[in-house]
Amino acid sequence: MTYVVTEACIDLKDKSCIEVCPVDCIHEVDADRMVYIDPDECIDCGACVDPCPVDAIYAEEDVPAPQQPFTLINKVYFKDKGAAQARVDEIKPPA
């Protein structure tokens, strides 16, 4: 199991989750429209869930059905950032 960042984070990037992560598995760069949790680094502690001001983070098995694409987007990001970023733009086109 891992935690997944979903659509509510797009263009917000509050970063409260990054500050509380004990293993620094939540990544963000300026070019990204959201933050991403590395499923290989996540220790499933859940520390990131409550600080998120928009409830964008879920345990993988609890991701709501409409947000399921973000499970794959978070995984793909760490292998192909461009593909993940393009998928985010498809789901929610930039303003």
Strands 57-59 and 3-5 come out as antiparallel
Per-residue pLDDT, 32: 95
- The pLDDT, as a whole number, for residue 1 is 79
What is the C-alpha separation between 44 and 65, in angstroms, rounded?
A: 20
Which pLDDT score is estimated for 90? 97
Going along the chain from its start, the domains and CATH numbers come out as: 3-91 (3.30.70.20)
| pLDDT mean by block of 10 residues, the chain; 95 residues | 95 94 95 96 97 97 97 96 97 93
